[in-house]
């Protein structure tokens, strides 16, 4: 394997982990742990806030779970940094459309006022993605356990992936594509019925866009829809469109991250609005998928979005780690100490600009804080540019 051009290390000055496992930073792409110290498993998730608490629903993916569908988990947090496992929101029921051999993906929950019920929506399918349905489960409590109601093709047509958006007027919308089975490859925004148990009216169609992983963010001035291209578990360049009304007109699409980063190796799943007062911070939340064979090792990439409502632009930049005050929405980026590879001693075939095989770079005289610290390693992999064929 032929690898790396240029390398640097960054040590983050203050400790990231203190006793009692209180997280102080959001570290995109790292393994995240819940308040029990267990790996946080809530993939392709959705987040909803009620009574000052965020609830994060997502797919349970663990090494020990061999079933295709092993459950949907729910976690709660008051600070967006520390997440308590609230258990299984939905468990598989053999012999039904949410059986262990089925696909239950992209859970999103919403509270329905008229029925005083929490409604959990998801993409429901079989293992070959041939059923293309949406599933609905309900519970009087946000953390569930949710009772599975039914799965169906919305408005009698196929549905691929699933996003949910609740508008400021309380009405809720399902976001999905009509799938590869449909020649049109459209993406839809569809209003739900009064009790949020079905969909009833298409309010906008993105004709022939063929995108997935949709979610909508509203700033009070503009709506932004974020969607990814369809490249399986490999990341691609997530796009956004903006509009003053859900029914459009929607802008032309633009990329949310620097090209070449494949949205910092992530796929869109939801957005978070932090800050209770006038100042709001919008956070892009994406999944950094491992391969289909080791989905349990997938990570989360959360990055503050830079939004300009007058131009309708939404961009994210990379940050190794940051902290957020969920109440004020204030984001702080700690300063790290950087060490260039040039400062180190090199063995094997490595050059400062090239590593091969078993080469090493050792950087000495790094002074730590005596407590656990985060270390970032920067490198560039030029395999795609390589002339002689590497055995990859």
Does position 365 bind ligand NAG by CB under 6 A? no
Residue 347 contacts ligand NAG per CB under 6 A? no
Binding-site member from 193, 208, 360, 362 for ligand NAG (CB under 6 A): 193
Q: Which of 101, 90, 176 lies closest to 136, judged by CA?
A: 90
Nearest to 368 by CA among 69, 83, 9: 9
Contact between 161 and 187 under an 8 Å Cβ cutoff? The reply is: no
Closest CA to 316 of 275, 279, 269, 282: 282
Span 30-89, contacts to ligand NAG by CB under 6 A: none
Report if residue 357 touches ligand NAG, rule: CB under 6 A.
yes
Quick one: 11 or 152, whose CB is closer to ligand NAG? 152
> In terms of CB distance, is 130 or 372 closer to ligand NAG?
130
Binding region for ligand NAG (CB under 6 A) out of 26-34, 193-201, 227-235, 262-270? 193-201
Give the count of residues interacting with ligand NAG (CB under 6 A): 16
* Minimum separation from the CB atom of position 98 to ligand NAG (A): 15
Compare residues 3 and 44 and give the one whose CB is closer to ligand NAG: 3
Q: For residue 362, give Cα distances in angstroms to 11, 341, 345, 353.
A: 14, 8, 5, 14
3-state secondary structure of 192: strand
Is residue 145 reached through a cis peptide bond, with omega within 30 degrees of 0 on the bond before it?
Answer: yes
Figure out which of the listed residues 126, 153, 219, 328 binds ligand NAG, where binding follows CB under 6 A: 126
User: Positive or negative, the Cα torsion across 258, 261, 267, 271?
Assistant: negative
Report 104-123 residues binding ligand NAG (CB under 6 A).
115
Return d(Cα 61, Cα 162) in angstroms, integer. Answer: 18
> For ligand NAG, which is the closer residue by CB, 102 or 185?
102
CB of 143 to ligand NAG, least distance (A): 8
Min dist. Cβ of residue 46 to ligand NAG (A) = 20
Bridge partners of 75, per DSSP, are 56, 85
The yes or no reply on residue 308 touching ligand NAG (CB under 6 A) is yes
Span of 35-43, 73-81, 128-136, 251-259 interacting with ligand NAG by CB under 6 A:
128-136
Among 141, 231, 337, 362, binds ligand NAG (CB under 6 A): 141
| Chain centroid, CA 110 distance in Å | 18
Q: Cis peptide leading into 392, omega within 30 of 0?
A: no
When asked if residue 360 is in the footprint of ligand NAG (CB under 6 A), the reply is: no
Question: Which residue has the closest beta carbon to ligand NAG?
Answer: 130
For residues 392 and 381, what is the distance between their CA atoms, to the nearest angstrom?
12
Report whether 197 contacts 285 (CB < 8 A).
Answer: no
Strand partners, 60: none
Q: List contacts with ligand NAG (CB under 6 A).
A: 115, 126-128, 130-131, 140-141, 193, 195, 197, 308, 310-311, 357-358
């Amino acid at each position: 394997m032929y690898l790396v051009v240029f390398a640097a290390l960054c040590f983050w000055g203050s400790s990231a982990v203190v006793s009692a496992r209180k997280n102080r930073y959001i570290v995109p792409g790292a393994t995240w742990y819940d308040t029990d110290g267990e790996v946080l498993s809530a993939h392709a998730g959705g987040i909803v806030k009620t009574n000052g608490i965020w609830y994060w629903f997502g797919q349970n993916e663990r090494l020990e779970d061999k079933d295709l569908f092993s459950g949907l988990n729910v976690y709660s947090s008051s600070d967006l940094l520390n997440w308590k496992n609230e258990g299984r929101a939905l468990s598989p029921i053999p012999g039904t459309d949410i059986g262990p051999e089925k696909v239950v993906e992209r859970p999103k929950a919403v509270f329905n006022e008229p029925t005083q019920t929490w409604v959990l929506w998801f993409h429901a399918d079989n293992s070959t993605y041939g059923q293309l349905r949406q599933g609905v489960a309900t519970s009087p409590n946000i953390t569930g356990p949710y009772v599975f109601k039914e799965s169906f093709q919305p408005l009698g047509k196929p549905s691929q992936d699933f996003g949910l958006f609740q508008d400021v007027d309380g009405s809720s919308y399902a976001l999905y594509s009509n799938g590869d089975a449909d020649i049109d490859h459209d993406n839809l925004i569809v209003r739900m019925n009064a009790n949020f148990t079905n969909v009833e009216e298409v309010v906008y169609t993105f004709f022939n866009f063929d995108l997935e992983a949709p979610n909508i963010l509203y700033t009070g001035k503009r709506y932004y829809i974020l969607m990814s291209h369809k490249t399986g578990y490999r990341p691609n360049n997530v796009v956004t469109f903006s509009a003053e009304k859900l029914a459009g007109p929607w802008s032309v699409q633009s990329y949310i991250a620097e090209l070449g980063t494949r949205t910092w190796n992530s796929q869109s799943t939801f957005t978070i609005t932090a800050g209770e007062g006038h100042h709001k911070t919008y956070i892009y939340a994406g999944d950094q998928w491992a391969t289909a064979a080791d989905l349990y090792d997938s990570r989360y990439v959360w990055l503050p979005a830079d939004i300009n409502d007058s131009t309708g632009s939404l961009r994210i930049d990379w940050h190794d780690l940051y902290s957020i005050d969920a109440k004020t929405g204030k984001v702080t980026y700690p300063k790290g100490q950087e060490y260039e590879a040039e400062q180190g001693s090199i063995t094997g075939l490595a050059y400062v600009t090239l590593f091969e095989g078993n080469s090493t770079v050792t950087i000495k005289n790094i002074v730590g804080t005596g407590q656990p610290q985060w270390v970032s390693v920067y490198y560039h992999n030029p395999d795609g540019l390589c002339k002689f064929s590497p055995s990859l």
